[in-house]
Structure 1
C-alpha cells in the first residue's frame, strides 16, 4: 500500500500526515477517473476519426477546429436522443412508446430552437461509417438509387455531417420520428426527387419498423406504405408541375411539349389533401422544357418556344406561378380540419452536371463536398430557391389560420454536394451512357433532409406546446 500511495502523497501534500492512505485514495479517485476518461476519448478519436490531424484541401482553420470537435458533436446528438428517449413512456403492450409531453418552463421557452437557422451552415466530417443504414439493411431501397450495387467504389461521401452555424442538428432517431407522427398521414407531393426523399425516409424508418407496402399504381408513381406499430401512413403523390400540365401528343407519340394551366392544380394530390396531417411539397426539375403557359383561358407566354407574338418567359416566372397556385389552394382548403395540416415546402435541390447536361455527356464524378465559399449564389438554382421562399413567405404571412406552413430549405446545403449523385451508377439498362446527376444515392447526402424534417416537426411541436400553455 505504501508504494501505491506515493503518487498521491505529492498531490495532496498539504493534507495532514495522519490522513490514512485509504482516504487519500478515495479523495484522489476523481483525478484518476478524469484522466482515464480523457485518455479513452482521445483513443476513440484517433482510432475512428479519418485522418484526424490532416487538413483537407481548401479547408479553413475554423473547419479544422470543427473536425476536432466531431466527437463532441456526436456526443451532443446522442445526448439529445438519450434525453428524448428517456421521456418516452412504455404504456402500450409490446412496449409501444408515446412521447411524454411535459409543460415547458415559462422562464425558458427554448429560444435557441426558435431562432437557430438550421439551413445556414457547412459540411464537416463525421465518424467513419456514419450512415444510418446500408444498401443491404434497407429493404425498400430503389434499385436506381442503390449506387453501391451498381459499382460505385468510393464511400467517403457518406462521412459528412451538416453543421448549422449557431446550433447542432441532432442525429436522426426513427423512434422519435415515428412517435411524433403516430396515428397520422404524411405525403410527399412532387416529382421524382420528392420520391427520392420519401425513399430516404423509408430507409431511415425501416431501421425501427419494416413498413407494409399497401398501394402501388401501375407506373409506380403513387405509392403508400404503412407502419402498423405506429399506425403511420407514408405516401408519394407524384406530380410533375403541381398544377395541371398536359403533354401534347402527335400521332400517338409524346412530344415533350406541355401546356401548363395555372388556374388548375393537379387533382391527383389535391383530392388527398384533406386526409393529410403532413404535406411535403416540392417541384422544379420539370420546368426546363418547352411549355405554353395558360391562365383564365389566356396564353401568358411560353418557355423556349421563340415564337412571334408570344411572350418568352423564363423558368423563374413559371415556377413562381405554379407555387403560388399550389400554396394558395392548400391555404384555402375548406375540407381541411383547422390546425390539422402542416404543409412543408422543400426548396429546389440542384443537379450537378459537369461538361454538359444529361443528354450531352454531362457527368458528376466528384467524391467529396465543396466548401461553402465555392458555392455560386448567382446560379439559377439559387434564383429558383428564392422564388420559392418568396411564395412561401407570402402564404405564411397571409394564411387563413387553418393550415400551418413551414420551410425545408435544402438548396444551400445541397449546392455543396456534387458528390452525392448516382452518376453512372444507377443501373438503367435502357439509358446506358447517360449519367444521373439529379437524384441522390441511398444511403447518402439526401438523408440530411430527414434530419432537418425531424427537427422541423420537433420545433413545430414545441411551438404548439408553448402556445397552448400561454407562454407567448
Structure 2
C-alpha cells in the first residue's frame, strides 16, 4: 500500500505545519539523543521549563565525529523525586558521550549556507504535500539554512550509515500526532538516499506507517495516536472533530502496536489545547450511553502520561531498548507576541526570533511541568527531548501557501525546522 496522507485534524484554530528543514532538525536531535547523548531526563529537575538563555553567541566546543575514537559506555544519571534514589542507567545504542554541561535545548539558530540544508524537499518522495514550501510558492530559501547551535557544545554531523547500522535488526517507532509524523518523515528523508531503491519500501496500514530498510532488516514506523490514549480522533485520515473525547487511561488499543519496538518516541500536545476542560470517557465508545466526566487539561494530560510511563516500565527493557518523549511545538499566531507592531502572524516571516528569552503565549508551561513530573519519576528512563524553546524562535518555519495570506501558524514544514521542524500536517 502507498502511504496515506491524512486530512489535517481540527483544533483550536487551524495549525500550519512546521517546515521540512525545521522538522529535519527535530529528527536530527532525536537521532543524536538515541545515538550519542545522555538521557535527557537527567535534566528534568533543573528549571527545564524555561532557562533564561544566554544573550551572547555560544562558543561551540571542538566537534567530535560520531562513532569516532573509543568512547566508553554512556551512563545517564537518572534523577528522581520522592523516596527513590538516583540510579545509573546504561543506555543501549549510544556510541559516544555528550560533552560535559551540554544542553541541546539551549542555544540559538545560526545561518549556515555550507552545511544546510541536509536535503531538498523535492529530493524526498515521502514528504506530504502539506509540508512542501517550494511547491506552494514560497519565494525565499533562507529558512532552509538555519542550523541549531547548542550552548557549550556542537551537534555531531549526521551520518546516515551509522544510524542505519544502529537500527540493523531493530524497530524504531514514533507514536503521537503530526509533530512525530513530521519527525518520522524527516528521519526517513535523511536516511533513504543511503539505501538502494530496491531495498526500501513504505506501506501504510490504517494508523501504522512502516518504512523498511530491507538490507538492514530494520523498520522506522509511525503510529497515529494524537492523545496516546484511545480517543474519538484516532482515525489516521478522518480525525477533524470539535468535540474531543479521550477514554481515560485506555492505551491498550494502541499499545498492542508498540510492543516489540526497540526505540519508541512519544509525543502528544496540540490536541489537548481546546481552551476547555477535557472530556474523559469512563466506559467504552461502543456503549450507547456514554459516561463522560470533565477534567482540567493538566490533570487529564498527567493521567495519560502516567499510563504511558507505566506501559514503558512494564514493556521495555532499559538494557536493550530506549523510550523518549518529545515536548510541544509552539504556534506563532500574532506577530505582536514577538515585538512586531504589524497586525500579522507567521505569514511571510523569513528570519527566526532573535530574543533568546522569548516564550510565546501559546505554549503551556503547566503541561511542560506535568511532563517533567511524570517522566522524572519513571522507574525506566524516558528521555525527554525538549524541543520547545528552540522551536519558539522559528516564526519563519511554518508551512504556508505563499499565494494565500490567510495562513495558519501551528504546523511546520519539513525542510527547515524538522526539516522544517519536522512537524507536518495540521494537528
Q: Give the TM-score, by structure 1 length.
A: 0.61
Distance 1:157 1:62 in 2: 22
1:418 has 2:395 as partner: yes
Superposed counterparts of 1:265-414, under 5 Å? 265=251, 267-268=253-254, 270-289=255-274, 291-294=278-281, 300-302=293-295, 313=296, 315-333=297-315, 336=316, 339-354=319-334, 363-376=346-359, 380-395=363-378, 399=379, 403-414=380-391
Distance 2:227 2:325 in 1: 14
Q: Is the 8 A contact 2:346 2:398 kept in 1?
A: no
Superposed counterparts of 1:57-206, under 5 Å? 62-63=56-57, 77=63, 80=65, 84=67, 112-113=98-99, 115-128=101-114, 130-206=116-192
Unaligned runs of 5+ in 2: 1-53, 75-94, 285-290, 337-343, 423-427
Please state how far the C-alpha of 1:227 moved relative to its aligned partner: 0.7
Q: Is the 8 A contact 1:225 1:234 kept in 2?
A: yes
User: What count of residue pairs does the alignment treat as equivalent?
Assistant: 329
Distance 2:410 2:335 in 1: 15
What do residues 91-146 of structure 1 show as CA deviations (whole Å, max 9, x unaligned)? xxxxxxxxxx77679xxx98753642121212122235611001222222221111
From the superposition, tell whether residues 111 and 225 of structure 1 become closer, same or farther in structure 2 (CA, over 3 Å): closer
Superposed counterparts of 1:446-461, under 5 Å? 446-447=418-419
Distance 1:449 1:340 in 2: 29
SS in 2 for 1:435: coil
Q: Is the 8 A contact 2:330 2:363 kept in 1?
A: no
Higher RCO (CA-CA < 8 Å; seq separation 6+): 2
SS in 1 for 2:303: helix
What do residues 301-344 of structure 1 show as CA deviations (whole Å, max 9, x unaligned)? 25xxxxxxxxxx2x3333222212222222223xx456333110
Q: Is the 8 A contact 2:170 2:262 kept in 1?
A: yes
Runs of 4+ that moved beyond 4 A: 101-105, 109-112, 294-300
Distance 1:434 1:193 in 2: 22
SS in 1 for 2:215: coil
Which of the pair has more CA radius of gyration?
A: 1
What do residues 187-212 of structure 1 show as CA deviations (whole Å, max 9, x unaligned)? 10001121011111111112322563
Distance 1:319 1:272 in 2: 21
Distance 1:170 1:322 in 2: 34
Distance 1:199 1:110 in 2: 25
Distance 2:332 2:212 in 1: 34
The residue number in structure 2 matching 1:262 is 248
Distance 1:181 1:424 in 2: 36
Cα RMSD over matched residues?
A: 3.5
Q: Is the 8 A contact 2:318 2:381 kept in 1?
A: no
Distance 1:418 1:228 in 2: 38
Q: Is the 8 A contact 2:108 2:149 kept in 1?
A: yes
From the superposition, tell whether residues 362 and 418 of structure 1 become closer, same or farther in structure 2 (CA, over 3 Å): closer
From the superposition, tell whether residues 392 and 337 of structure 1 become closer, same or farther in structure 2 (CA, over 3 Å): closer
The residue number in structure 1 matching 2:21 is none
Please state how far the C-alpha of 1:372 moved relative to its aligned partner: 4.1
Unaligned runs of 5+ in 1: 1-59, 88-100, 303-312, 451-472
Q: Give the TM-score, by structure 2 length.
A: 0.67
Of Structure 1 and Structure 2, which has the larger fraction of its residues in helix? Answer: 1
The residue number in structure 2 matching 1:27 is none
